[in-house]
Amino acid sequence: MSTFRTLNVRPIEARDVEQLELFRKSYFDANIEIPHGYQAVGVETSVAEKEGKVIGSLTATGVVVFDYVHDETATGTDVFAAVLMMERALAYTALKNGLTTAYVAIPSHLEKYIEMVRKCGYDESLQSCTIMRRDLRTPVMPSLGDERDNTGTETVSE
């Protein structure tokens, strides 16, 4: 535990940006993007240092993640119109609340859906990364992943 005592965590300062950019570019293949900078409305960065030397940083960006479910019998035109209208309404609300970025995670085998989302203005991001999540609030809905694991079945359709 002595390592924790020797670390200092503080907010980013202007003098840190050059060093953080060097760190970020050393992970070139990971496409670590900082499109809204290191500090702004909806963006905060903490810096860890030891004995005055910067060890690293974490940048938190206010984001909205869109999860879409729909009636499998709905027409493609209805699905497209519905998802576009709902995404725009929720994105507007998120932007008003200081969020900076919208994400949607799509299984790679749903190629038609990926193309549809691309046409709506989304770009591929984090291609070489595994997306992981940690809830900051206690979940209020049961996990479908847990249910799927308990039943041994998986249903994902395009």
Q: pLDDT for 9-53, tens place per residue?
A: 999 999 999 999 999 888 877 778 888 999 998 899 999 999 999
- Give the confidence band of 141 by pLDDT, cuts at 50, 70, 90: confident
- ∠ CA 90-44-38 to the nearest 5 degrees? 105
Structure-token match 């840190």, residue found: 16
Residue of higher predicted confidence among 135 and 42: 42
Quote the pLDDT of residue 156. 52
- Give the confidence band of 153 by pLDDT, cuts at 50, 70, 90: low
Give the mean pLDDT of the chain: 86
- Residue ranges with strand state E in 12-68: 43-50, 53-61, 63-65
C-alpha dist (Å) from residue 103 to 61, 77, 92, 120: 11, 22, 14, 12
